[in-house]
């Protein structure tokens, strides 16, 4: 079994040939129907680096298959480009949105991308131009290691549409005036679309510090507003997971858009009110309550969450502040009162304009 382009490279030897169908998932059932026979599946390069290996392995027991990897496309591309692979970001974008590039776009950053087909090259150029990185250098690497190998160099601004042969990779050196996403917590509010319901940058930085993201952990962001807390949690590490819970439909849609635009489309958004909307969700390691705080919700979380779960809640009103003070006396943890001021015009001069203070409760259950 193999894609038609692979089958075309093999001389006839009497074996049955089966073309792997599109979409890819339909080929798994065909492969399972061949159990008991000797079957060879052909794939490009290393099947376990953005390849088919992990998909096939999930459907068969270890004793049923054996992998014989070849040189990965990333290694071939780095060899042509002369780039040290350990300093390059490698992304497989066969079936993923180009917005996953967004966290990696920064001046002089180097990336190698695997694309679904030749049309993806033009899409990459368009995306870079839209994000302000039109000066980026693009190296299109077609059919690496084969007789049809061809290398084309251009900038995103100057790239012209033409037919590019699959399989292909793109080497990318980022350049331009587009804003890079900061690596620390508390990115600018301007990166998020919102209706005013957003945890502002300084407060968000303190919230994320209290939540303390760690690789592979799940966050619940309750009363998510713009989704900024969950999105920054996901930006902290590619293995991080998060669920935003938001009762208002228009905000839930906006959260999805923000997450997709900033390259973390893996964010799960649940439209509904807590605690009812929490039913059936995978257990978190950390929970943030930014909206909808109530005694009933805290009671539910205390009974529901596993010991060791980190809980961070913010309060602005006197009533919700009193609630956090009472629960801190009951369960412990730390209370922090955050009072921020910004400069604002005051007649012909300037003065300090105070924001509403925020009370933060941080506790490990």
- pTM comes to 0.89
**Per-residue confidence (pLDDT) for residue 222, from 0 to 100:** 97
169-188 pLDDT, tens digit each: 999 999 999 999 999 999 99
pLDDT for 147 equals 85
**Are 231 and 133 part of one and the same domain?**
no
Question: Residue 215's pLDDT is what?
Answer: 96
Indicate if the pLDDT at residue 111 is higher than 90.
yes
Give the domain-ending residue among 70, 90, 121. 70
Range from 53-57, 137-141, 251-255 carrying the lowest mean pLDDT: 53-57
Residue of higher predicted confidence among 163 and 203: 203
226 has pLDDT over 80: yes
Is 184 inside any structural domain? no
Does one domain contain both 200 and 334?
yes
Query: What is the overall mean pLDDT for the chain?
Result: 94
Instruction: Give the count of domains, the chain.
Output: 3
Q: Do residues 341 and 193 share a domain?
A: yes
pLDDT at residue 68, rounded to an integer: 93
Regarding whether 240 and 92 lie in a shared domain, the answer is no
Q: In this structure, are 109 and 138 located in the same domain?
A: yes
Please determine, for residue 95, whether its predicted confidence score (pLDDT) is greater than 90: no
- Would the pLDDT of 104 be above 90? yes
pLDDT at 44: 81
Could you write out the three-class secondary structure of the chain? CECHHHHCCCCCCCCCCCECCCCCCHHHHHHHCCCCCCCCCCCCCCCCCCCCHHHHHHCCCHHHCCCCCCCCHHHHHHHHHCCCHHHCEEEEECCCCHHHHHHHCCCCCEEEEEECCCHHHHHHHHHHHHCCCCCCEEEEEECCCCCCCEEEEEECCCCCCCCCCCCEEEEEECCCCCCCCCCCCCCCHHHCCCCCCCCCHHHHHHHHHHHCCCCCCEEEEECCCCCHHHHHHHHCCCCCEEEEEECCHHHHHHHHHHHHHCCCCCCEEEECCCCHHHCCCCCCCEEEECCCCCHHHHHHHHHHCCCCCEEEEEECCHHHHHHHHHHHHHHCCEEEEECCEEEEEECCEEEEEECCCEEEEEEEC
288 and 163 assigned to the same domain: no
pLDDT in tens, 329-360: 999 999 999 999 999 999 999 999 999 999 99
Q: What is the pLDDT of residue 278?
A: 95
Judge if 302 and 356 occupy the same domain.
yes
Mean pLDDT of 97-103: 95
Same domain, 298 and 213: yes
Residue 101 confidence (pLDDT) above 90: yes
Classify residue 194: in a domain, yes or no.
yes
Same domain, 197 and 272: yes
Domain of residue 84, residue span: 73-173
Which of the listed residues 145, 173, 201 is the one where a domain comes to its end?
173
Looking at the structure, tell me whether residues 329 and 360 fall in a common domain. yes
- Residue 116 forms part of a structural domain: yes
Q: Are residues 215 and 293 in the same domain?
A: yes
Q: What is the mean pLDDT of residues 90-118?
A: 93
Q: Is residue 220 part of a domain?
A: yes
Confidence of residue 323 (pLDDT cuts 50, 70, 90): very high
pLDDT at position 161 over 80: no
Residue 117 pLDDT level (bands cut at 50, 70, 90) = confident
Of 141, 173, 205, the one marking the end of a domain is: 173
Residues 214 and 254 in one domain: yes
Q: How confident is the model at residue 160 (pLDDT cuts 50, 70, 90)?
A: confident
CATH number at residue 79: 3.30.950.10
226: domain CATH number? 3.40.50.150
Omega cis (within 30) before 167: yes
| Minimum mean pLDDT range among 112-126, 236-250, 301-315 | 112-126
Q: Is 1 inside any structural domain?
A: yes
What is the percent of the chain where pLDDT is above 90?
A: 84
Q: Is 104 within the bounds of a domain?
A: yes
Give residue 116's pLDDT band: very low, low, confident or very high (50, 70, 90).
confident
Residue 45 domain flag: yes
In a domain, 179, yes or no: no
């Amino acid at each position: 079994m193999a894609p038609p382009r692979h089958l075309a490279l093999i001389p006839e030897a009497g074996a049955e040939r089966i073309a792997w169908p599109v979409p890819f998932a339909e080929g798994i059932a065909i492969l399972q129907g061949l159990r008991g026979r000797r079957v060879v599946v052909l794939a490009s390069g290393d099947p376990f680096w953005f390849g088919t290996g992990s998909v096939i392995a999930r459907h068969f027991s270890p004793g049923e298959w054996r992998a014989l990897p070849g040189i990965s496309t990333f290694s071939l591309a780095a060899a042509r480009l002369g780039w040290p692979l350990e300093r390059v970001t490698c992304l497989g974008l066969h079936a993923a949105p180009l917005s996953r590039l967004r966290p990696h776009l920064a001046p002089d950053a180097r990336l190698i991308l695997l694309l679904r087909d030749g049309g993806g090259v033009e899409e990459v150029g368009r995306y870079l131009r839209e994000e302000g990185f039109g000066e980026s250098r693009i190296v299109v690497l077609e059919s690496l290691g084969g007789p049809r190998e061809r290398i084309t160099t251009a900038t995103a601004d100057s790239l012209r549409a033409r037919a590019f042969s699959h399989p292909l990779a793109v080497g990318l050196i980022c350049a331009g005036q587009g804003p890079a996403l900061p690596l620390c917590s508390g990115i600018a509010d301007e990166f998020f679309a919102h209706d005013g319901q957003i945890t502002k940058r300084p407060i968000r930085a303190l919230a994320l510090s209290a939540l303390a993201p760690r690789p592979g952990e799940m966050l619940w962001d309750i009363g998510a507003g713009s989704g900024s807390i969950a999105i920054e949690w996901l930006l902290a590490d590619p293995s991080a997971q998060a669920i935003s819970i938001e009762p208002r439909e228009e905000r839930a849609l906006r959260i999805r858009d923000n997450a997709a635009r900033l390259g973390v489309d893996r964010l799960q958004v649940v439209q509904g009110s807590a605690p009812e909307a929490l039913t059936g969700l995978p257990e978190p390691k950390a929970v943030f309550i930014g909206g909808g705080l109530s005694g009933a919700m805290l009671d539910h979380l205390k009974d529901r969450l596993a010991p060791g779960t980190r809980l961070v809640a913010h309060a602005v009103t006197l009533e919700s502040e009193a609630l956090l003070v009472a629960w801190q006396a009951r369960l412990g943890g730390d209370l922090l009162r955050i009072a921020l001021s910004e400069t604002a015009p005051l007649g012909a001069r300037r003065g300090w304009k105070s924001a509403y203070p925020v009370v933060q409760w941080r506790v490990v259950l």
